């Protein structure tokens, strides 16, 4: 299925995050965007933007770990636990995977996502 990124266009620091949703077309994606946690905190649909995100197409059935690995490969970063270098700084896929798994286990330590 097609992946879409939902963004809040406000400039406030606490609104600086995105969500990925899956839908067949823009109209359905826009409707789904209005059901996201991001929308609930945006205060107004005017600040919502939905656009295609083909890097994540057909990933809706991945488990959380593999989904986040794919996001990381696509350029996403996370705050917390300990720093994880951007994926494109790695020359070795195996080393990148090991570092990601170490980061993931630390980031989600003690949570259900582990």
Q: What is the pLDDT of residues 68-97, one digit of tens each?
A: 999 999 998 877 656 889 999 999 999 999
Tokens of 25: 């077309």
What's the pLDDT at 77?
Answer: 83
pTM to 2 decimals? 0.81
What share of the chain in percent tops pLDDT 70? 84
Q: Give dist(CA 109, CA 95) in Å, integer.
A: 21
Q: Please, are residues 23 and 36 in contact by the beta-carbon 8 Å criterion?
A: no
Instruction: Please report the sign of the dihedral spanned by the C-alpha atoms of residue 58, residue 54, residue 80, residue 100.
Output: positive
What confidence score (pLDDT) does residue 103 get? 92
Check whether 113 has a pLDDT greater than 70: no
Q: Which two tokens stand for residue 62?
A: 């991945």
87, 72 contact by CB (below 8 A): yes
Catalogue the long-range contacts made by 15-20 (C-beta closer than 8 Å, 24 or more residues apart): 15/41, 15/42, 15/47, 20/53, 20/56, 20/71
Cα distance between residue 107 and residue 101, in whole Å: 10
Supply φ then ψ for residue 110, to 5 degrees: 80, 5
Rounded CA separation 92/88 (Å): 10
- Tell me what pLDDT residue 14 has: 55
């Amino acid at each position: 299925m097609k992946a879409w990124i939902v963004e809040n266009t406000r400039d406030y620091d606490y609104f600086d995050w995105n969500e990925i949703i899956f839908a067949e077309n823009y109209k359905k994606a826009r409707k789904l965007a209005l059901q996201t946690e991001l929308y609930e905190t945006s205060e107004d649909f005017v600040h919502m933007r939905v656009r295609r995100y083909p890097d994540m197409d057909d990933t809706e059935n991945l488990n959380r770990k593999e989904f986040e690995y794919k996001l990381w490969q696509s350029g996403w970063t996370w705050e917390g636990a300990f720093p994880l270098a951007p994926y494109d700084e790695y020359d070795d896929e195996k080393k990148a995977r090991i570092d990601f798994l170490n980061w993931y286990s630390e980031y989600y330590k003690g949570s259900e996502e582990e």
